[in-house]
Amino acid sequence: MDVIEVSSQRRRQLVDVTSFVQQSVAGSGVADGVCHVFVPHTTAAVCLNENADPDVVDDLLAGFEALVPDVRFRHAEGNSDAHLLSSLIGTSVAIPLSDGELRLGRWQAIYLTELDGPRKRELWLTCVRT
C-alpha cells in the first residue's frame, strides 16, 4: 500500500490527483491489474470525472451544493453535509492497469473530492495483479 498526502485549499474542492496515482502505480511493480484508490476520511470522497474542461469541476461543485444545501443537521460539528456527500459520492475507485499505466477514459481524471476543507487528506493506494 502507498499513501499520498493531498492538501485542499477550500471547503469544497476537486483536486486532480491522477499524476500522483500514476507515480505510485509506476513504483508498485504491477504492470497489469487494478489500482484501488481509497480515502479514509468521512468528509471526503474519490471520483472519476472529466479533466479537459474546467467548467465540469465547477459544475460538479455547484451540483453538490444543489443536492445538499446548507440545512440544519443535528450533528453539532456543522459538517453533516460533507458526511452525506461523501456517502453519496463514495470513498474509493478501482482503475484498471495495463503495461504499468492507469487505463482511464480519454477525458477522465482521478479527483480527491474535498467536502470539508481546507485540510490535509490521505489517499491509500493498493495495486494488485490480476
* Per-residue pLDDT reduced to its tens digit, 14-30: 999 999 999 999 999 99
Angle 54-67/80-89 helices, nearest 10 degrees? 120
In 1-130, which ranges are E strands? 2-7, 13-16, 33-38, 44-50, 92-98, 101-102, 108-114, 120-129
Interacting residues of 29 by C-beta distance below 8 A, sequence separation 6+: none
DSSP element (H, E) containing 85 = helix 80-89
* Per-residue pLDDT reduced to its tens digit, 65-89: 999 876 677 776 778 899 999 999 9
Domain boundaries, position 93: 2-129
Task: Please give the tally of structural domains in the chain.
Answer: 1
**CATH number of the domain encompassing residue 15:** 2.60.120.460
